[in-house]
Amino acid sequence: MKILVTGGCGYIGSTTARLLQRAGYEVWVADDLSEGHAAAWDGPMLQVQLREEGQVAAMAAQHRFDGIVHFAARAYIGESMQQPLRYWRCNLLPLLHLCACFRGVPIVFSSTCAVYGEPEVERLEEHLPLQPVNPYGASKMAAERVLSDRALAGAGSYVALRYFNAAGAEDDGLHGEDHRPEPHILPRAIQNALGQLEEPLQIYGTDWPTADGTCVRDFIHIEDLAAAHLMALQYLLEQGESVALNLGTGQGHSVMEVIQAVTRLVAKVEWQETARRPGDPARLVAGVEKARQLLGWTAQHSQLENIITTAARWHQQFPGGYPT
């Protein structure tokens, strides 16, 4: 079976593309290389700007795919607060064009826990109302709605996977996170500990309503995310019904706990407090029962120690990230 992975030169997409390939699928990646890296994926690749409908249509004229795994998007909450229109364009146009050009093809979609906003519950479950507090989350919520309307019209099924905080690197140490600049707390803490960051790690507020005053997040290893995409794809190819599922561990770690763990496992992290960032919820932890029941998926690689040691190995071996 032939599968299209959009954004397959990016962090989560490339790891997933490799797993799908190992599982026996013929995998084609489509990426504009705006954020991703050619060196992250060495299989078949189409350099395509998915915001241009003509380019997506040209791809559809040449290739018939049995399934699509759609990662390509912009994914920075802070940036989305400053450039909301960019997020609506970048996160909706590619999906609309894929839906228009690949009618009937099942889609596994990268959604996010940012669709929930900040309900005051211990764990976020899929039945909660979606009330995003930033344009990034709002654009993903709208994308889920597009997929749901398409499915109701009989034009193709979908699984929306709402990931919590993706983290870690592949076990071989050869593939990991390389965003430039890197906005995520975990790789930044490791880069700081390894002396790869010139400035101290910024912590956005220590007065949040959490046990130690720093934000709490649910970190999920990219190998676990990749496995969930494989299972979701198989589920759709076996005629499973459209659904949205959380991907997390169900366990939260505060920013301060991450800093302490990186200090223990890698080296001391230099940090300094700065103001809260608009659009950041205090606590985001997944309810994970639905993905377990429907797909049989649970996180296997997402212990904080494993996330940090795999990511540290990657950053140590490739201090400048992927070669350009």
Residues in contact with ligand NAD by CB under 6 A are 7, 9-13, 31-36, 48-51, 71-73, 75, 90, 94, 110, 112, 163, 165-166, 179
Residue 48 or 230 having the CB closest to ligand NAD = 48
Task: Compare residues 123 and 267 and give the one whose CB is closer to ligand NAD.
Answer: 123
CB of 239 to ligand NAD, least distance (A): 25
Say if CB 182 and CB 188 are below 8 A apart. Answer: yes
* Strands 158-163 and 107-112, bridge-based pairing: parallel
**Closest CB 261 distance from ligand NAD, rounded Å:** 18
Q: CB neighbours of 243 closer than 8 A, spacing ≥ 6?
A: 159, 160, 290, 294
**DSSP per residue, 77-113:** HHHHHH-HHHHHHHHHHHHHHHHHHSTT--EEEEEEG
CB of 302 to ligand NAD, least distance (A): 12
Question: For ligand NAD, which is the closer residue by CB, 12 or 244?
Answer: 12
Nearer to ligand NAD, 154 or 175 (CB): 175
- Catalytic residue ranges: 136
How far is Cα 255 from Cα 247, in angstroms, rounded to an integer? 20
**Smallest distance from ligand NAD to CB 70, Å:** 8
Distance, CA of 232 to CA of 295 (rounded, Å): 7
CA–CA separation, 211 and 259 (whole Å): 15
Q: What type of residue sits at position 147?
A: L
